[in-house]
Structure 1
């Protein structure tokens, strides 16, 4: 199995890693440490099987001229009956177009019509904790809802990861996005 993930800027990544560490130290969640070298991310797509060489080639071409995406986390949420807690980014037109344009371009690779990452199914999120008991979920929610105010960052890179192994998710290939030109004319 493979996933395409959106990697966040260093400042935002550090905030989330600090939360992961604090949840671990408070004996609330071990999520961050269940997978070797886990990095904060937003999953954009998933695939059961993949021609990696062809996908990487297409990924390199498609993302060559794509710009970094501004992202703002205003809220936290949970999926029903999952024990998951996540930061939920503001759903902007730019974020939705970024996601849907990816799926349109890479449609031939979609081998799971029930994927939760397809357009019209996707709930963008950055996981803070997972598989928590109801008591730990409540504890994590209370902690995380008070820890931060709004977090503003960027999606700065996309990466294809191999999630075949339960305890590892190595990056197969990544592509940095272009910095936006902020010069006013």
Structure 2
């Protein structure tokens, strides 16, 4: 997958997630910061596909401009039951974030090339990735290094499409603009 529709956080939440990444790095577990050479910003992904073309970006921008983007509570230290080990900070799933997710997917339907099933409504688990592609022993050590993780209140300040290979972001909405 090459492009993701992401929610980005206010400076305080961004710094809190980066501090968790640093704690992992200090414990010898490669965090997302280390894995991506610090190209990527902390975020929650709404949708992912091989390509999110300009028409889809315009449609999602129009749809999301009509909504109030809720604050996210990144609350649960967890993992997925998948082959690749992922350490994550899960967001509390409430009706507001589900409405944003649903609106984004309504706008993207039929426009995204090879959409990832993991991010479709009904399958999506809102989360901020702390580490991925780590070994089982690194996953256990990561839990030990971060537990107990303090909840992070993240105000969503921007929405953008991220090229997952380069980290380049096409900002669709920015509350600072």
Do these two structures clear the TM 0.5 threshold for a shared fold by scoring above it? yes
Q: Distance in 1 between matches of 2:42 and 2:127?
A: 10
Residue number among 98, 121, 126 corresponding to 1:124 in the alignment: 126
Which residue in 2 is equivalent to 1:182? Answer: none
Note the 1:1-185 alignment, pairs <5 A: 1-36=2-37, 37-52=39-54, 54-80=55-81, 81-112=83-114, 115-146=117-148, 148-163=149-164, 165=165, 168-177=166-175
Cα deviations by residue, 1:124-179 (Å, 9 ceiling, x for unpaired): 11001111111110010122122x3222222221111122x3xx22002331259x
Number of residue pairs matched? 173
TM-score (norm 2): 0.87
Structure 1 vs Structure 2 CA RMSD:
1.9
Mapped contact 2:56–2:112 kept (Cα < 8 A):
no
**Residue 94 of structure 1: SS of its match in structure 2?**
helix
How far, CA to CA, are the matches of 1:89 and 1:136 in structure 2?
22
In structure 1, distance between residues paired with 2:157 and 2:41: 13
- Higher CA-based Rg: 1
Aligned to 1:181: none
Contact 1:47–1:110 (Cα < 8 Å) also in 2: yes
C-alpha displacement of 1:114: 5.1
Q: TM-score, normalised by structure 1?
A: 0.84
Kindly tell me: are residues 136 and 157 of structure 1, through their superposed partners in 2, closer, same or farther at Cα, counting changes over 3 Å? same
Unaligned runs of at least 5 residues, structure 1? 179-185
Equivalent pair of 1:85/1:140 in contact (CA under 8 Å):
yes
Give the Cα separation in 2 of the matches to 1:7 and 1:151.
13
2-structure distance, mates of 1:177, 1:43: 18
CA positional deviation for 1:110: 3.3
Check whether the contact 2:74–2:153 (CA below 8 A) recurs between aligned residues. Answer: yes
Q: Does the 8 Å contact 1:67/1:177 carry over to 2?
A: no
Distance 1:102 1:59, change over 3 A: closer
- Counterpart-to-counterpart distance in 2, 1:28 and 1:35: 13
